[in-house]
Amino acid sequence: DLLELEKERKAIEARHVDALQRAAKAGHQPLFLLHVLEHFAQVSPNRSGGKFSGTYVDCTFGRGGHSRELLSRMSADSKLIALDVDPESVAVGRELEQKDHRFTIFHSSFADLAEVLDGTEVQGVLINSGFTTAAKKNGKRGIMHGVLDLRFNQQ
């Protein structure tokens, strides 16, 4: 029903603004969040109480802006698997992992996604090929002024 979709779009937009504000306070602003949420809403097989159900993947966790918002919209029996090669991002993910049993992070590249999933069926996959605000602001990362070192995993 078109009216229901419009109501849902407006509700998603309001939550999107709220999520951006929370992420900005944490030092990161996830881009394209509204588009990601709209897409995941379309691919979710069962929307129990308006919540996404199933298993989803964030292949580029970063500081977790997209993941946190996805978790807030997922049912209690859903799962979110995240990957990142940046040790700083993985450390942030480990904190989230301790707070939410639905979330698991792997210190791994999305190139290893098949190995990480090991046959697990997923409903949605997010790959954000950008970089985090923290990486941009850190001159040692080579994204802004500083020594050029474009490796996200600098170990």
Query: What pLDDT does residue 44 have?
Result: 76
Query: What pLDDT does residue 64 have?
Result: 87
Q: Quick one: fold of 2-127?
A: Rossmann fold (3.40.50)
Dihedral of CA atoms 137, 139, 142, 145 in degrees, nearest 10, equals 100
Please, are residues 136 and 100 in contact by the beta-carbon 8 Å criterion?
A: no
Measured CA to CA, the distance from residue 152 to residue 155 in angstroms comes to 9
| pTM as predicted | 0.69
Query: What pLDDT does residue 120 have?
Result: 96
Q: What is the pLDDT along the chain (155 residues), one digit of tens a residue?
A: 677 777 877 877 777 677 666 666 655 556 677 777 777 777 776 666 778 889 999 999 988 888 998 998 899 999 999 999 989 889 999 999 999 999 999 999 999 999 999 999 999 999 876 655 555 565 555 556 666 666 667 76
Query: What pLDDT does residue 125 have?
Result: 93
Query: What pLDDT does residue 19 have?
Result: 64
Please, are residues 27 and 133 in contact by the beta-carbon 8 Å criterion?
A: yes
Query: What pLDDT does residue 147 have?
Result: 64
Please, are residues 11 and 19 in contact by the beta-carbon 8 Å criterion?
A: no
Enumerate the domain spans of the chain. Answer: 2-127
Query: What pLDDT does residue 81 have?
Result: 98
